[in-house]
Amino acid sequence: MTTKMIATPTRTQEILRKYKFSFKKSLGQNFLIDVNILENIIAHAGIDESAGAIEIGPGIGALTEQLAIHADRVVAYEIDQRLLPILQDTLNGYSNIHIIHQDILEANMDETIKANFRSDQPVHVVANLPYYITTPILMKLLRDRLQVNSFTVMIQKEVAERMAAKPNSKSYGSLSIAVQYYTTAKVVMNVPKRAFMPQPNVDSSVLRLTTREKPPVEVDDEDFFFELVQACFAQRRKTLRNNLVNYFKDKEGFDKVTISETLERIGLDGTRRGESLDIAEFALLANTFYEELNY
Q: Which domains does the chain have, with CATH numbers?
A: 9-211 (3.40.50.150), 222-293 (1.10.8.100)
Q: pLDDT: is 253 or 181 the higher one?
A: 181
Binding site annotation covers 36? no
What pLDDT is stored for residue 252 in this prediction? 79
Binding site annotation covers 105? no
Q: What is the mean pLDDT of residues 20-33?
A: 80
Contact (CB, 8 A) for 66 and 53: no
| HSE-up of residue 55 (Cα within 13 Å, Cβ side) | 26
What pLDDT is stored for residue 250 in this prediction? 85
What pLDDT is stored for residue 2 in this prediction? 44
* pLDDT classification of 1: cutoffs 50, 70, 90: very low
Q: What is the mean pLDDT of residues 154-174?
A: 96
What pLDDT is stored for residue 295 in this prediction? 75
* Alpha carbons 183 and 258: distance in angstroms, whole number: 34
Q: What percent of the chain has pLDDT over 90?
A: 88
What pLDDT is stored for residue 251 in this prediction? 82
What pLDDT is stored for residue 130 in this prediction? 86
Q: What is the mean pLDDT of residues 46-62?
A: 97
Q: pLDDT: is 253 or 178 the higher one?
A: 178
Amino acid at site 178: A
Decide if pLDDT at 30 tops 90.
no
Binding site annotation covers 242? no
Q: Pairing state of beta strands 183-191 and 204-211? A: antiparallel
Binding site annotation covers 57? yes
Among 63, 46, 58, smallest CA distance to 5 is for 63
Q: pLDDT: is 253 or 208 the higher one?
A: 208
Binding site annotation covers 103? yes
Decide if pLDDT at 12 tops 70.
yes
What pLDDT is stored for residue 3 in this prediction? 55
* pLDDT classification of 11: cutoffs 50, 70, 90: very high
Cβ count within 10 A of residue 245: 19
Binding site annotation covers 274? no
Give the tens place of pLDDT for each residue, 245-291. Answer: 999 998 878 889 999 999 999 999 999 999 999 999 999 999 999 99
Contact (CB, 8 A) for 159 and 132: no
Residue 284 has φ and ψ, to the nearest 5°, of -60, -45
Give the chain as a 3 state SS string. Answer: CCCCCCCCHHHHHHHHHHCCCCCCHHHCCCEECCHHHHHHHHHHHCCCCCCEEEEECCCCCHHHHHHHHHCCEEEEEECCHHHHHHHHHHCCCCCCEEEEECCHHHCCHHHHHHHHCCCCCCEEEEEECCHHHHHHHHHHHHHCCCCCCEEEEEEEHHHHHHHHCCCCCCCCCHHHHHHHHHEEEEEEEEECHHHEECCCCCCEEEEEEEECCCCCCCCCCHHHHHHHHHHHCCCCCCCHHHHHHHHCCCCCCCCHHHHHHHHHHCCCCCCCCHHHCCHHHHHHHHHHHHHHHCC
Torsion of CA 45, 40, 178, 233, to 10 degrees: 170
39-52: b (≥16 Cβ within 10 Å) or e: eebbebbebeeebb
Give the tens place of pLDDT for each residue, 97-137. Answer: 999 999 999 999 999 999 999 999 999 999 999 888 999 99
What pLDDT is stored for residue 269 in this prediction? 97
